[in-house]
Structure 1
């Protein structure tokens, strides 16, 4: 499935798109670098490490307290 300008998006990328959020939010709030944020949002096959998943979920729960890692990755 493609969003925007024909880019492939991961489940996390689509979650951000649905809320009108940018990857920069992930960089600023989860403490991941730009390359990791890009892979997380654009590569449906990217598998982050468990510590990275924890940082991301902690940050996302500020927006949606019901979000779980299993919403985005097979954990």
Structure 2
């Protein structure tokens, strides 16, 4: 009997947001602390988001998107 491998699981929305925030922050050469300050968030909150430790509200997602100069949808898009 042949074993079939199942496709890898799709990333969760939290994982997509975390990866995109980290990628965009680094692309803009910002530290977590700088991004947090610009978005009026606590630096540990940004760290928690990037590590998938906490959820994010829509309002805060919009705030980070504005600071990172992207649409909210880009924060939810699969990474390239």
TM-score normalised by the shorter chain: which range applies? 0.5 to 0.7
Q: Structure 1: how far apart are the matches of 2:59 and 2:43?
A: 17
Higher relative contact order, structure no. (Cα contacts within 8 Å, ≥ 6 residues apart): 2
Instruction: Tell me, yes or no, if structure 1 residue 69 matches structure 2 residue 72.
Output: yes
Greater gyration radius: 2
Q: What does residue range 34-53 of structure 1 map to in structure 2 within 5 Å?
A: 34-43=43-52, 47-53=55-61
- Larger fraction in helix: 2
Structure 1 unmatched ranges of 5 or more? 1-8, 62-66
TM-score by length of 1: 0.61
TM-score by length of 2: 0.58
Q: Is the 8 A contact 2:48 2:54 kept in 1?
A: yes
Question: RMSD in angstroms over aligned alpha carbons?
Answer: 2.2
- Larger fraction in strand: 1
